[in-house]
Structure 1
């Protein structure tokens, strides 16, 4: 009669190893199995926040997990950048990077404990969100030429608002000043939502601000748009000239990307990339954000790394030429 022998210790160990390996593979395959945090360096209601929430909601449908937005504003974007860089590189912390802003902050501030190029990997480029030059509706200037003439006629008597020290909003005005020779005082805020009420009241005479934040006030007749800072005119504002067309020689397309801390597993990056692409290429989301001044544009992570390098080179030079130095 055949009698089955008991497994040897060696066979038992091999069986345990196989089970552990299978469990490990299953665990990796289940990513993500909990909510994902998307950090950003600006407060609620601004362009970065609007973009992050719209994309995050679409990503959650693909990932079947919540995408939780965490706002960490301040220090020209460095507070959020540092917090995201210090997060565990496990795929559960992402960063909605305002790339152009990060390039400016890296050049304008002393070296920080985190750097977008060194400490992050791009999942994908997601959008460009150009700024526009807006003034209070009560200001008599109807175009950039008239604005410059007004400011030059009253040197030092006007203020300009910004989203904060070292932000793109701030540096655009510094370049405007240095290019046109006007004298103005900088009034920094923590994001558009805090700056716009004072701008509309007339306590500041101009601001470079994101279209999603300012456009409702333009439509309400409380602000006037004089130019867009993008390299070409925008489809939603075809009659508004670029700042370069208006005689001030610079442009800023304002690139955004979803990034993760360096060291994040490739499998997690690939999963996030698929979710980002599905969100960015969603026709309804593209149209909804385009109506707010946000152009969704998917770029693979490896290709977007070149965009990051170019932005850091370009704005490093601009910061140096404008002699902007922040503490």
Structure 2
């Protein structure tokens, strides 16, 4: 009888534990649904309408809400300024930490605390990543008929248009010049890359650097395929699969110091369309939003819409992003100092 009683009590304990394990996910689901039902969630982007960052986030907001318990309304909030640093600073220090806000910064912002700490009031290692929608590779695009190859770029001074001194169109041209010897004259003051394209077609500039492959495929694909525009070089830690014959600047540098500079500047594009929530956001809300991200990047309706406009989707998980950020932020100080000099940080 004693043995039977013990067996009975053990069986009851096991049954109760099983019920708790089943109930826990249900309770978390119910809590999330209660919080998000009828709520508006802000999706912050550091650029104006028309940018590829805005396009990525806008398409995401159309689909991710149905994958969040309670199906909240997702509203896109534009917060342009300083190459998305304004938005990144807001998300890092000001935005609510209750799971009602997430955002997509320019990934290059994650190196700004190294490059320009006075204007970067955050530590990227504290960011709580949800994932990244795409791995990016930067390129240069030229409309001048005598600039078709990387060797062509080295034959004369190249006039590259730029949207600002801290923009990718300036940064990429300056770093490419330092690593390959191309002589760029960077002309700033253009409102956006399309303005530079129009200037190139008028003969005012040759073109620009800082054109990401995703933007190339959505905005300039026909011009590239027709030959009206040339892409003589790409800048990524690996070549893009669709451009095996375009030289990759990373493969051309010979010294470890040059490779370290390249990884510092272009490495962040490995997590090229990242999403994060403010540091300190409740873990249970982070789990909900991460799960929603994982589901939306497999959502047939979402993928059909991105495919329709030729928008690349190559997801990266939050753990991989955190690891890459940590590796980049451990760049040796001499390399960081060289980057500051190359980018002209003192004159910003």
Compute the TM-score of the two structures, normalised by the length of structure 2: 0.73
Whether the aligned pair in 1 keeps the contact of 2:125 and 2:325 (CA below 8 Å) is no
1:37 Cα offset (Å): 1.0
1:45 Cα offset (Å): 2.4
Which residue pairs with 1:8 in the alignment? none
Q: Please, which runs of 5 or more residues in structure 2 have no aligned partner? A: 1-27
Match of 1:233 among 224, 235, 239: 239
Change (3 A) 1:205 1:246: farther
Change (3 A) 1:123 1:183: closer
Which residue pairs with 1:121 in the alignment? 128
Match of 2:342 among 307, 322, 325: 322
Which residue pairs with 1:12 in the alignment? none
- 2:222 pairs with 1:219: yes
1:246 Cα offset (Å): 5.9
- 2:85 pairs with 1:67: no
Compute the TM-score of the two structures, normalised by the length of structure 1: 0.77
Change (3 A) 1:298 1:56: farther
Q: Please, which runs of 5 or more residues in structure 1 have no aligned partner? A: 1-23, 152-157
- 2:32 pairs with 1:31: no
Change (3 A) 1:276 1:306: same
- 2:279 pairs with 1:259: no
Deviations 1:235-280 (A, max 9, x none): 2333333233466964625123211111211111111101111122
Structure 2 SS opposite 1:241: coil
Greater helix content? 2
Rounded Cα–Cα distance in structure 1 between residues aligned with 2:159 and 2:77: 31
RMSD of Structure 2 on Structure 1 (CA)? 3.2
Change (3 A) 1:266 1:84: same
Q: Between Structure 1 and Structure 2, how many residues are aligned?
A: 296
Deviations 1:286-312 (A, max 9, x none): 57459746342231x344211122233
- 2:330 pairs with 1:306: no
Change (3 A) 1:270 1:192: farther
1:126-141 map, 5 Å:
126-136=133-143, 138-141=144-147
Greater strand content? 1
Deviations 1:13-54 (A, max 9, x none): xxxxxxxxxxx9965542323121111222222221222122
Change (3 A) 1:278 1:80: same
Whether the aligned pair in 2 keeps the contact of 1:141 and 1:150 (CA below 8 Å) is no
